[in-house]
Amino acid sequence: MPSVTICPLARLNRRLFDDYTRRENISDSEGKVLFNFLETLANTTYSNIDYLVGNDEVDRLLDRLHIQPENYMHLIYNLTGDDTLRFVADISNFMDKIHTISGNLIIGTRQTLTEYGLCYMTNTMLSDKYSSRYMVEGILPDKDIQTSPSYINVKKCSYFENDVNYNVLGFDTSPINVFLHSPFDVMKADQNLGYTGESLQLRVTSTEIVTEDEFEFGADVKRRKCRFQHENNLTHFPIFTRNLCQQECRLNLVFKIMANTNALVGGTSLLFDMVDLPKERLVRRIIFSFEDLLGNKNELQIEVINY
């Protein structure tokens, strides 16, 4: 089945941010400025970099806190937290976690660092090295949840099955940006399915490519004109995929044009205001399914549940 990456547009965890401002003795007005800067920066990619404009107040605050550009990503990572279902002990309260289910099965879901910031990816065949924790801290994600008998990494199906689906749960009412892609690749920032604040149902079909068993080792990269993820020749990413290769090309172009990170993130436009979430928590179910290739079509209903 396909993989999906979901990027919440509300990035920072308000509780973690408030704890940080108290520790650093940051005033309420300074906290609002810093929050807007980090929230804007966390939502920045190559397509909307123009939103980052100079701001002397932000620069003075960052200087006082000794926050350098090379620290931005680590700070955003720490102030976002990881809301995925990672521990067996949390299964009883799994509705408070970002998770994926298919029937009684729990499908692996991980936080990732993408061109669009910190996002959540599920049903992937990629190495655990493609995770936010490994890319920011050099540590593989927690594997405790994988000891559960109901856990699987990837949901698979055959051509002779009826509709097969999985549900991605745990996001609140803030808008999300959704990307559908191969389980052997990562999202492309310019190929999203649009922003939504509602439940989203997708029906997709898939093409399977079958090769001989010795295809991987019987032909070199030059002959087969493709790389497996462990045949990595990239500088900025721990594994190889086609989309990561394209991202690296863009990064190298940016580094060539702009000599330092300050040219990219020298300030901010205050675009975001934090608003209180409603008391009722709206949980969106994102449903993915295959149409039966024999012609049967079992329609799925969009399901929205208030908690």
DSSP character string of 116-170: TEEEEEES--S-TTSSHHHHHHS-PPP-GGGGSTTEES-----TTS---EEEEE-
Alpha carbons 178 and 170: distance in angstroms, whole number: 14
Q: Please answer whether residues 280 and 307 qualify as being in contact, where contact means their C-beta atoms are separated by less than 8 angstroms.
A: yes
**Per-residue confidence (pLDDT) for residue 110, from 0 to 100:** 94
Q: What's the mean per-residue pLDDT of the chain?
A: 76
For residue 255, being part of any structural domain is answered with no
Q: What's the total number of domains in the chain?
A: 1
For residue 86, being part of any structural domain is answered with yes
Q: Please answer whether residues 106 and 99 qualify as being in contact, where contact means their C-beta atoms are separated by less than 8 angstroms.
A: yes
Average the pLDDT over 218-230 and give the result.
74
User: Over 80: is that where the pLDDT of 297 sits?
Assistant: no
For residue 127, being part of any structural domain is answered with yes
Structural domain for 136, as ranges = 1-217
Which pTM value belongs to this model? Answer: 0.73
**Per-residue confidence (pLDDT) for residue 82, from 0 to 100:** 92
Q: Which two tokens stand for residue 190?
A: 């310019």
Bridge partners for 106 per DSSP: 101, 151
For residue 90, being part of any structural domain is answered with yes
Alpha carbons 125 and 279: distance in angstroms, whole number: 37
Handedness of CA 254, 130, 134, 267 (dihedral sign): positive
Q: Please answer whether residues 183 and 124 qualify as being in contact, where contact means their C-beta atoms are separated by less than 8 angstroms.
A: yes
For residue 288, being part of any structural domain is answered with no
Q: In this predicted model, which residue has the larger pLDDT, 224 or 86?
A: 86
Q: In this predicted model, which residue has the larger pLDDT, 60 or 277?
A: 60
Average the pLDDT over 264-279 and give the result.
31
For residue 281, being part of any structural domain is answered with no
Q: Please answer whether residues 287 and 4 qualify as being in contact, where contact means their C-beta atoms are separated by less than 8 angstroms.
A: no
Least Cα distance to 135 among 108, 116, 113, 115 occurs for: 113
107-164 pLDDT tens trace: 999 999 887 889 999 998 888 988 999 989 999 989 899 999 999 998 887 766 667 7
Alpha carbons 200 and 177: distance in angstroms, whole number: 11
**Per-residue confidence (pLDDT) for residue 156, from 0 to 100:** 81
Q: Which residue has the tokens 């949980």?
A: 283
205-225 burial code (b ≥16 CB/10 A, e <16): eeeeeeeeeeeeeeeeeeeee
Strands 195-196 and 176-181: antiparallel
Alpha carbons 82 and 136: distance in angstroms, whole number: 13
User: Over 70: is that where the pLDDT of 306 sits?
Assistant: no
Average the pLDDT over 65-73 and give the result.
88
Alpha carbons 270 and 273: distance in angstroms, whole number: 8
Return the SS3 of 279. coil
User: Over 70: is that where the pLDDT of 246 sits?
Assistant: yes
Average the pLDDT over 6-35 and give the result.
93
For residue 88, being part of any structural domain is answered with yes
Q: Which two tokens stand for residue 213?
A: 């068993």
Q: Please answer whether residues 206 and 163 qualify as being in contact, where contact means their C-beta atoms are separated by less than 8 angstroms.
A: no
User: Over 60: is that where the pLDDT of 303 sits?
Assistant: no
**Per-residue confidence (pLDDT) for residue 55, from 0 to 100:** 76
For residue 75, being part of any structural domain is answered with yes
Alpha carbons 117 and 132: distance in angstroms, whole number: 10
Return the SS3 of 109. strand
